[in-house]
Amino acid sequence: MKYTLSLIVNDQAGVLTRIAGLFNRRGFNIDSITVGKTEEPGLSRMTIVVHGDKRLVEQIKKQLHKQIDVHKVIDITNEPMVARELIMIKVKATPQTLPEITNLIEPFRSTVVDVAHSTITIQATGDEDKLNAIIELLRPYGIKDLVRTGFAAIQRG
């Protein structure tokens, strides 16, 4: 099962390294991790997605609580939340396929962010299912490059 952890941490050099090192030392694989400043100066929010079972996630949470730079750890997996990821996909495109590709991505509210001689770069945001659907629709055109930010999540309400 996939778990989403939301952490409030000090916004200082080395915090990300210490958190990632904790996961590494314990053999926990991080599916995705995003970090950004919060509305409060000096603090950052980390969204960490991991695969595992409930026992593994409880172990991770206990280890995170021991970190001096970690102020708060919340497992928001089963909480009402909004989670989004950004992807950018560079796809092979010709003058003949360019209109077809732009029509294909339109229902996903994706945007074209760059057009070059033989490629088009598309930006999309959304949940995992939506982004995977876009990737699969674009795959037949020839994906040259793909970058994913990882999920950012926040509790509702």
**Mapping DSSP to helix (H, G, I), strand (E, B) and coil, where does residue 52 land?**
coil
Tell me the DSSP string of 56-85: HHHHHHHHHHT-TTEEEEEE-TTS-EEEEE
List Cα–Cα distances, 142 to 91, 152, 157, in angstroms.
Answer: 6, 28, 41
pTM, to two decimals = 0.83
pLDDT for position 26 = 85
Q: Which CATH number fits domain 82-155: 1.20.1050.10, 2.30.30.60, 3.30.70.1150, 3.40.50.10490?
A: 3.30.70.1150
Share of the chain above pLDDT 70, in %: 100
Q: Which residues contact 109 (CB under 8 A, 6 or more apart)?
A: 124
**Which residue is listed with tokens 């396929």?**
97
Tell me the DSSP string of 108-138: GT-EEEEE-SSEEEEEEEE-HHHHHHHHHHH
Q: Where are the domains of the chain?
A: 2-79, 82-155
User: For the segment 47-59, what is each residue's pLDDT rounded down to a tens digit?
Assistant: 999 998 899 899 9
Question: Given this chain, do its domains 2-79 and 82-155 carry the same CATH topology?
Answer: yes
pLDDT at 107 over 90: yes
For the structural domain made of 2-79, what CATH number should be given? 3.30.70.260
List Cα–Cα distances, 76 to 5, 30, 96, 99, 124, in angstroms.
Answer: 6, 16, 45, 40, 24
Are the C-beta atoms of 77 and 2 separated by less than 8 Å? yes
What phi and psi values does residue 40 have, to the nearest 5 degrees?
-100, 120
Separation CA 57–CA 31 (nearest Å): 13
User: For the segment 112-138, what is each residue's pLDDT rounded down to a tens digit?
Assistant: 999 999 999 999 999 989 999 999 999
pLDDT for position 95 = 93
pLDDT for position 43 = 98
